[in-house]
C-alpha cells in the first residue's frame, strides 16, 4: 500500500467538504479531498439543485398553462420529460465540473474512492479498481460524509416504482398517480413538481402537520394550495405496505385513523427523512463518539471528542442544510489553520421550495413563547403588495415575531413568492440584533416584495400603513 502525507484530509466532497478543502488550500495547507461518488454530494447531484431545476420547470409550465388570466393564451403546451431531464442534468454537470475546476485552481488534490479511518491521523482509501492508498493527515481529518435516505422496511424500494429522492429527480415519465410517503420537504417539493406536470398527488404524513417544525400558519397556506390543485392530504396516517397489481400499478395500504384503506398509485415516493452517515468508516474504532442515529457530535469549532478529527455538515445532525455545512466547512478550515473561528451564528435560515415557498429565520411562535418571551406579532399579506399582484402570486404573508418589551426581532417567517430570497434580510436583521423599528424605518424600494418586510415589522409595532393594525 502506497502512502501520501497532507496537512489535512477531508472525507466527503459535498457542500461542506469541498468548501472546507478549498478554504484549507487558500490558507496555505496541503489538502486532499476523498469522494466515493461525485463531488457536490447530495445537494448538487440529486438534492437541492436538481429538485430546484425541476421546480422551475413545473412553475413555468403552470404559469404558461394558466396564462389566459393575464392575456397569454398558449396552445399546444406539453411536457417533454426527456428534454427536461437532459436540461437538469446539464446544470448538475456544469456545477460539479465547476467544483473540479476550483479544486484544480486552488491546488486541492481530489481522490475518488471509499475512505476508512485507521487512526486519528490516517485514512485508508479503497479505489474503484480495488487498490488501496494510505493518507496521513499532519494537522487534521475532516469528516464530511453527509446523510443518506432513510429506508422503511414495510416499503422496500425497487428504484423504479418505489423510489426515494434520488430517483424522483430523474423520472423520465410523469406518473399518472404519485403517492408521497412523508409530508416533509422532499415529499412536498417533488410531489408538487409532478402534480403541476399532470400527476394525481396523494401525500401520507404520520404526524398531525405537514412540514413539522415549520410555523404552522405558513404550512396551512401551502396545504390549501395543494388541495385546491387536487391533491389528497392524509395526516395522522401511516403507510403499512404495498402490493403490486396485475396491470403493474401499486396498491398502498394506509392506516388512516381507525380504518385501513387502499390507495392506487403508479409511483410511490418514500420521503421519510435522512440519516447522518457517521457509521461504517472506522470512526468508532479510533475512539470518535458516534450516536446510534449515525450523528457525530461536535463543538462550536467542529471538533469531535478525538483531537485532530473534525466533522461538518449533515453528519453532525440537524438542521440538514447545505449552507450550514458550507459555513461549518469554512470555520473548521480556519481552526485547522490555527486561526480564531467558531460557529457562532445567531440563526441558520431555512427555505422550503413548495408553492408558495416558505422561508424562516429565528424562533417560531412556539419557540419564542417556550423561551419565556412575551411576544408581539406583525403580519403583512402579499395580497397587499402591488408587486405580488402584478406577478400574479399573492398567496401568503410575512410574519415578524418580536419581544414585546425590547421590541427585538426574534423570528421572521415568510410564505409567498420569493420567500427564499427575502429571508436574507431577516437573517441579517437577527444576526446584528435589530429591533423592529430598524426594519420599519428602513426605506424599501417600491414596488417590490421586500416592502412586505418593512410593513410586517411596522405591523408588529402597531403602525403599518397598508394593512389594518390591531
Let me know whether 245 and 357 are in one domain.
no
Decide if 470 is inside a domain: no
Domain that holds residue 256: 162-272
Q: What is the CATH number of the domain that holds 313?
A: 3.50.50.60
Let me know whether 220 and 292 are in one domain.
no
Residue 249 is predicted with a pLDDT of 94
Let me know whether 9 and 127 are in one domain.
yes
Single out the residue in 310, 336, 362 at which a domain terminates: 336
Residue 154 is predicted with a pLDDT of 93
Residue 25 is predicted with a pLDDT of 98
Contact 440, 449 (CB under 8 A): no
CA-based nearest residue to 165, from 267, 19, 253, 255: 267
Q: Is 444 a catalytic residue?
A: no
Let me know whether 237 and 307 are in one domain.
no
Let me know whether 284 and 268 are in one domain.
no
* Residue-level pLDDT, tens digit, the chain, 470 residues: 799 999 999 999 999 999 999 999 999 999 999 999 999 999 999 999 999 999 999 999 999 999 999 999 999 999 999 999 999 999 999 999 999 999 999 999 999 999 999 999 999 999 888 899 999 999 999 999 999 999 999 999 999 999 999 999 999 999 999 999 999 999 999 999 999 999 999 999 999 999 999 999 999 999 999 999 999 999 999 999 999 999 989 999 999 988 999 999 999 999 999 999 999 999 999 999 999 999 999 999 999 999 999 999 999 999 999 999 999 999 999 999 999 999 999 999 999 999 999 999 999 999 999 999 999 999 999 999 999 999 999 999 999 999 999 999 999 999 999 999 999 999 999 999 999 999 999 999 999 999 999 999 999 999 999 999 98
Let me know whether 51 and 120 are in one domain.
yes
Let me know whether 12 and 135 are in one domain.
yes
Helix 322-336 × helix 17-26 angle, to 10°: 30
Let me know whether 174 and 240 are in one domain.
yes
Residue 129 is predicted with a pLDDT of 84
Let me know whether 303 and 206 are in one domain.
no
Residue 258 is predicted with a pLDDT of 87
Of how many residues is the chain composed?
A: 470
Reported pTM: 0.95
Residue 461 is predicted with a pLDDT of 98
Among residues 413, 446, 463, 466, which one is catalytic?
A: 446
CA-based nearest residue to 13, from 94, 91, 85, 98: 98
Q: How many domains does the chain have?
A: 3
Let me know whether 141 and 279 are in one domain.
yes
Residue 1 is predicted with a pLDDT of 75
Amino acid at each position: 500500500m502506497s502512502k501520501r502525507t497532507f496537512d489535512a484530509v477531508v472525507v466527503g466532497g459535498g457542500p461542506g467538504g469541498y468548501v472546507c478543502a478549498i478554504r484549507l488550500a487558500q490558507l496555505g495547507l496541503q489538502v486532499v479531498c476523498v469522494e466515493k461518488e461525485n463531488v457536490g454530494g447530495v445537494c448538487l447531484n440529486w438534492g437541492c439543485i436538481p429538485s430546484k431545476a425541476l421546480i422551475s420547470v413545473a412553475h413555468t409550465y403552470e404559469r404558461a398553462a394558466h396564462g389566459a388570466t393575464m392575456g397569454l393564451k398558449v396552445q399546444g403546451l406539453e411536457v417533454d420529460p426527456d428534454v427536461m431531464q437532459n436540461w437538469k442534468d446539464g446544470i448538475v454537470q456544469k456545477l460539479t465540473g465547476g467544483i473540479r475546476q476550483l479544486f484544480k485552481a486552488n491546488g486541492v488534490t481530489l481522490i475518488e474512492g471509499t475512505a476508512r479511518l485507521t487512526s486519528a491521523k490516517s485514512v485508508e482509501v479503497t479505489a474503484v479498481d480495488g487498490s488501496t492508498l494510505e493518507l496521513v493527515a499532519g494537522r487534521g481529518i475532516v469528516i464530511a460524509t453527509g446523510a443518506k435516505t432513510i429506508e422503511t422496511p414495510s416499503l422496500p424500494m425497487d428504484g423504479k416504482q418505489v423510489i426515494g429522492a434520488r430517483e424522483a429527480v430523474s423520472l423520465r415519465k410523469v406518473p399518472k398517480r404519485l403517492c408521497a410517503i412523508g409530508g416533509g420537504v422532499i415529499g412536498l417539493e417533488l410531489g408538487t413538481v409532478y402534480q403541476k406536470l399532470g400527476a394525481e398527488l396523494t401525500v401520507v404524513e404520520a404526524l398531525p402537520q405537514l412540514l413539522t417544525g415549520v410555523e404552522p400558519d405558513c404550512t396551512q397556506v401551502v396545504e390549501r394550495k395543494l388541495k385546491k390543485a387536487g391533491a389528497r392530504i392524509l395526516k395522522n396516517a401511516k403507510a403499512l405496505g404495498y402490493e403490486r397489481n396485475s396491470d403493474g400499478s401499486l396498491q398502498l395500504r394506509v392506516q388512516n385513523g381507525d380504518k385501513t384503506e387502499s390507495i392506487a398509485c403508479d409511483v410511490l415516493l418514500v420521503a421519510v427523512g435522512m440519516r447522518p452517515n457517521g457509521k461504517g468508516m472506522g470512526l468508532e474504532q479510533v475512539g470518535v463518539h458516534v450516536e446510534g442515529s449515525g450523528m457525530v457530535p461536535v463543538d462550536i469549532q467542529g471538533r469531535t471528542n478525538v483531537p485532530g478529527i473534525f466533522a461538518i455538515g449533515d453528519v453532525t445532525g440537524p438542521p440538514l442544510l447545505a449552507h450550514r455545512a458550507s459555513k461549518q466547512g469554512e470555520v473548521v478550515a480556519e481552526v485547522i489553520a490555527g486561526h480564531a473561528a467558531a460557529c457562532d451564528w445567531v440563526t441558520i435560515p431555512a427555505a422550503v421550495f413548495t408553492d408558495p415557498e416558505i422561508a424562516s429565520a429565528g424562533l417560531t411562535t412556539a419557540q419564542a413563547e417556550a423561551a419565556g418571551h412575551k411576544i408581539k406579532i406583525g403580519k403583512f399579506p402579499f395580497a397587499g403588495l402591488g408587486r405580488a399582484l402584478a406577478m400574479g402570486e399573492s398567496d401568503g404573508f410575512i410574519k415578524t415575531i418580536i419581544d414585546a418589551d425590547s421590541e427585538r426581532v426574534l423570528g421572521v417567517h415568510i410564505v409567498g413568492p420569493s420567500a427564499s430570497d427575502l429571508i436574507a434580510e431577516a437573517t441579517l436583521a437577527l444576526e446584528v440584533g435589530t429591533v423592529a423599528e430598524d426594519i420599519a424605518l428602513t426605506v424599501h424600494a417600491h414596488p417590490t416584495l421586500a416592502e412586505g418586510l418593512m410593513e410586517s415589522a411596522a405591523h408588529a409595532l402597531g403602525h403599518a400603513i397598508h394593512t389594518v393594525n390591531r
